[in-house]
Amino acid sequence: MKKFLLIFTVILPLSILAEGDDWSHYGKDSGGGHYSKATEITPENVKYLKNIWTHRSGDYKGGANSAGRKGDDYQTSFQVTPLLVDETLFYCTSFNRVFALNPETGEEIWMFDPKLKKEGRAILACRGLSSWKDLKKSPDEKCFHHIIGVTIDAELFSIDAKDGQLCEDFGNNGRVNLREGLGEHPDLYYWSTSPPAIINEKIVVGGSVIDNLSIDIPGGVVRAYDIRTGELEWYWDPIPPNEATILDENGNPLYRRGTANVWSIISADSDLNMVYLPTGNASPDYYGGHREGLEEYSSSVVALNADTGKLEWSFQTVHHDIWDYDVPSQPTFYEFEKDGKTIKALAQTTKTGLVFLLNRETGEPIFPVEEREVPQGAIEGDYVSKTQPFPTKPAPLNPTYFDPDKAFGFTFWDRGHCKRTAKKLRNEGLFTPPSLEGSIHYPSGVGGNNWGGPAIDPERNIMIVNTNNMASLIVMVPREDCGKPLKELSINKTQERFTNIESNEGAPYCNLRSMGFFSPLGVPCTEPPWGTLTAVDLNTGDHLWNVPLGTSKDLAPFPFWWIKGAPNMGGPTVTASGVIFIGATSDHYLRAFNTETGEELAKFRLPTGGHATPMTYKNKNGRQFVIIAAGGHWAIGTPASDHLMAFALPNE
What pLDDT sits at residue 118?
Answer: 82
pLDDT at 12 over 50: no
> How far is Cα 186 from Cα 334, in angstroms, rounded to an integer?
40
Please provide residue 16's backbone torsions phi and psi, each rounded to the nearest 5 degrees: -70, -40
pTM of the model: 0.94
Q: Are 54 and 646 in contact (CB under 8 A)?
A: yes
Q: What does the pLDDT average to over 378-398?
A: 98
Nearest residue to 588 via CA among 540, 630, 533, 558:
630
pLDDT at 620 over 90: no
What pLDDT sits at residue 638?
Answer: 93
What pLDDT sits at residue 10?
Answer: 37
Task: Give the CA distances from residue 399 to residues 274, 350, 353, in Å, rounded to whole numbers and listed in that order.
Answer: 34, 14, 8
| Catalytic residue flag (residue 271) | no
pLDDT at 109 over 60: yes
Structure confidence by residue, pLDDT tens digits, 408-439: 998 999 999 999 999 999 999 999 999 999 99
Q: Which residue has the higher pLDDT, 558 or 612?
A: 612
What pLDDT sits at residue 3?
Answer: 39
> How far is Cα 226 from Cα 586, in angstroms, rounded to an integer?
41
pLDDT at 554 over 80: yes
65 Rama class: left (phi>0) / alpha (psi -120 to 50) / beta: beta
Structure confidence by residue, pLDDT tens digits, 594-612: 999 999 999 999 999 999 9
- pLDDT category at 73 given cuts 50, 70, 90 is low
23, part of any domain: no
E-assigned strand segments in 350-411: 355-359, 369-373, 387-391
337, part of any domain: yes
Helix then strand then coil, in percent of the chain rounded to 5, is: 5, 35, 60
SS3 4: helix
SS3 419: helix
Angle at 20 between CA 17 and CA 22, to 5 degrees: 100
Q: How many CB atoms neighbour CB 287 within 10 A?
A: 24
> How far is Cα 631 from Cα 372, in angstroms, rounded to an integer?
41
The tally of domains found in the chain comes to 1
Q: What does the pLDDT average to over 324-329?
A: 97
What pLDDT sits at residue 220?
Answer: 96
> How far is Cα 175 from Cα 302, in angstroms, rounded to an integer?
27
What pLDDT sits at residue 500?
Answer: 84
Look up the CATH number of the domain holding residue 399.
Answer: 2.140.10.10
Please provide residue 417's backbone torsions phi and psi, each rounded to the nearest 5 degrees: -60, -45
- Burial class of residue 89 (count of CB atoms within 10 Å of its CB; 0-12, 13-18, 19+): buried
Which residues, 6+ apart, have CB-to-CB distance to 558 below 8 Å? none
Among 154-158, 253-257, 449-453, 483-487, the range scoring the smallest mean pLDDT is 483-487
pLDDT at 2 over 60: no
The alpha carbon dihedral of 541, 547, 550, 551 has a sign of positive
What pLDDT sits at residue 493?
Answer: 67
Q: How many CB atoms neighbour CB 181 within 10 A?
A: 21
- pLDDT category at 6 given cuts 50, 70, 90 is very low
- pLDDT category at 18 given cuts 50, 70, 90 is very low
Q: Which residue has the higher pLDDT, 638 or 11?
A: 638
Structure confidence by residue, pLDDT tens digits, 160-176: 999 999 999 999 999 99
Which residues, 6+ apart, have CB-to-CB distance to 341 below 8 Å? none
What pLDDT sits at residue 224?
Answer: 98
Among 152-156, 508-512, 558-562, the range scoring the smallest mean pLDDT is 558-562
Q: Are 171 and 159 in contact (CB under 8 A)?
A: no
> How far is Cα 194 from Cα 451, in angstroms, rounded to an integer?
10
Q: What does the pLDDT average to over 640-650?
A: 97
CA 18 to chain centre: 25
> How far is Cα 584 from Cα 569, in angstroms, rounded to an integer?
5
What pLDDT sits at residue 14?
Answer: 34
- Residues composing the chain: 652
The amino acid sitting at 347 is: A
18, part of any domain: no
Q: Are 292 and 320 in contact (CB under 8 A)?
A: no
> How far is Cα 509 from Cα 499, in angstroms, rounded to an integer?
16
- pLDDT category at 469 given cuts 50, 70, 90 is very high
Q: Are 92 and 79 in contact (CB under 8 A)?
A: no
Q: Which residues of 386-403 are buried (b: 16+ CB within 10 A; e: fewer)?
A: eebbbbebbebbbbbebe
What share of the chain in percent tops pLDDT 90?
A: 85
pLDDT at 19 over 60: no
> How far is Cα 151 from Cα 97, in angstroms, rounded to an integer?
9
481, part of any domain: yes
The DSSP line for 35-63 is EE---SS-TTTGGG-EEEEEEE-------
pLDDT at 185 over 80: yes
pLDDT at 70 over 90: no
Full domain range(s) for residue 125: 2-6+28-648
pLDDT at 559 over 80: no
312, part of any domain: yes
Mean pLDDT for all residues in the chain: 92
CA 261 to chain centre: 13
> How far is Cα 549 from Cα 270, in angstroms, rounded to an integer?
35
Select which of 22, 153, 321, 324 is catalytic: 324
- Burial class of residue 140 (count of CB atoms within 10 Å of its CB; 0-12, 13-18, 19+): exposed
495, part of any domain: yes
Nearest residue to 647 via CA among 581, 587, 571:
581
Q: How many CB atoms neighbour CB 642 within 10 A?
A: 23
Count the helices and strands in the chain (H runs, E runs). Answer: 5, 44
Nearest residue to 278 via CA among 259, 297, 295, 292:
297
Among 110-124, 212-226, 604-618, the range scoring the smallest mean pLDDT is 110-124
| DSSP one-letter code for 505 | B
Which residues, 6+ apart, have CB-to-CB distance to 430 below 8 Å? 352, 374, 388, 400, 401, 442, 443
Q: How many CB atoms neighbour CB 12 within 10 A?
A: 11
The alpha carbon dihedral of 158, 160, 164, 167 has a sign of negative
> How far is Cα 353 from Cα 394, in angstroms, rounded to an integer?
10
